[in-house]
Amino acid sequence: MDQSASQWIKKQAQELGFLSCGISQAAFLETEAPRLEQWLKNGHHGAMGYMERHFDKRLDPRKLVPGAQSVISLLFNYYTSKTQKDAEAPKISKYAYGTDYHFVLKQKLKTFFQLMQKQFGAIEGRVFVDSAPVMDKAWAVKSGLGWLGKNTNVIAPREGSFFFICEIITDLELDYDAPMTDHCGTCTACIDACPTEALTPYQIDGSKCISYFTIELKEALPDSIKGKMDNWMFGCDVCQTVCPWNRFSKSHNEPQFEPHPDLLEMRAQDWEELTQETFKTVFKSSAVKRTKFEGLKRNISFLKHV
């Protein structure tokens, strides 16, 4: 295991703007396997059928990258203290304020891996940003970047949890980091605050999560959640906002994550009267496009008629 190579990678990650970097050995995720199986059996993935696919690949990175030796986990900050001006306006999760993180981070990771190839020679690998069967949180925890909180988000002691997780899986053998201890203690702020009671300690019923309803669910929203949406039209930040560790969050310095000028200014009435044209302008390169114009209108209309 090459410690100097690992140090070079961590220094490079910092220079490229990543919040932190940890490295773990590419191996079968033994602890996570039965948990994932039970989570799926319980139907906690709801209509997210894709979660059932590629079960073996989710648990073993060597099936994604043949000959893989290392999983390099990286965190990238997206926190901002900026908020929507109108307190009555339907809310959007902070991570979706700016340019879609898939595009931004994929480009940074490609640059990163090219630098690695230049430094270390003929190495193989792939980069991942939340769009492949990779258990991002499990790898971030294994590599010591934080612990899995009771809200099922990775929490870092000096940064909180408002960050994206991404990976480089490579056949380069490196020096590996150790996991850190859990620091949630007796706190249950996230569980107590969840509007739809989707959380139990260290587990989330995805089929009850507001993010699931506003983004993943394509059919009509169920009557059972009327009055429980806390005015969210895309995503939900409740379990992070109430987490005491997020008092350490600092605003990101990534220009591409800055919100469209109109986004924070739009009032409740503007959202209710949202047109296709405004949607295309405000969310030109945003992750909100995932729910499409019709989906966002559905969510806004549902909030209005509770």
Q: pLDDT tens across 214-260, in order? A: 999 999 999 999 999 999 999 999 999 999 999 999 999 999 999 99
Q: Decide if 46 contacts 207 (C-beta within 8 A).
A: yes
115, exposed or middle or buried, with CB in 10 Å at 0-12, 13-18, 19+? middle
Q: What is the CA radius of gyration of the chain?
A: 20
Assign 2 a pLDDT band (cuts: 50, 70, 90): low
Domains of the chain: 3-81+92-170 (3.40.109), 189-249+258-304 (no CATH)
Q: Is the pTM of this model over 0.75?
A: yes
Region class of 76: left (phi > 0), else alpha (psi between -120 and 50), else beta: beta
* Alpha-carbon gap, residue 199 to 287, rounded angstroms: 24
Q: Which residues is 285 bridged to in the sheet?
A: none
* Alpha-carbon gap, residue 191 to 239, rounded angstroms: 7
* Alpha-carbon gap, residue 231 to 85, rounded angstroms: 14
Alpha helices in 129-173 (DSSP H): 136-142
Element (H, E) at 233: strand 232-234
* Alpha-carbon gap, residue 227 to 215, rounded angstroms: 18
Alpha helices in 143-209 (DSSP H): 189-193
Alpha helices in 67-144 (DSSP H): 101-120, 136-142
Give the number of C-alpha atoms closer than 13 A to the C-alpha of residue 278, restricted to the C-beta side: 14
Q: Report DSSP state, residue 194.
A: -
Would you call 130 a catalytic residue per the annotation?
A: yes
How far is C-alpha 17 from the geometric centre of its chain's CA atoms?
Answer: 17
Element (H, E) at 23: strand 20-25
Q: pLDDT tens across 134-161, in order? A: 999 999 999 999 999 999 999 999 999 9
With CA atoms as reference, report the closest residue to 299 among 253, 256, 235, 245: 235
Region class of 7: left (phi > 0), else alpha (psi between -120 and 50), else beta: alpha
Q: Which whole-number Å values give the CA distances from 279 to 194, 287, 303, in the listed order?
A: 29, 12, 18
Q: Decide if 75 contacts 156 (C-beta within 8 A).
A: yes
Assign 76 a pLDDT band (cuts: 50, 70, 90): very high
Strands 232-234 and 91-92: parallel
Q: pLDDT tens across 159-201, in order? A: 999 999 999 999 999 999 999 999 999 999 999 999 999 999 9
With CA atoms as reference, report the closest residue to 178 among 25, 43, 49, 28: 25
Catalytic one of 60, 86, 130, 182? 130
Assign 306 a pLDDT band (cuts: 50, 70, 90): low
In the predicted model, what is the mean pLDDT of the chain?
Answer: 95
* Alpha-carbon gap, residue 128 to 169, rounded angstroms: 8
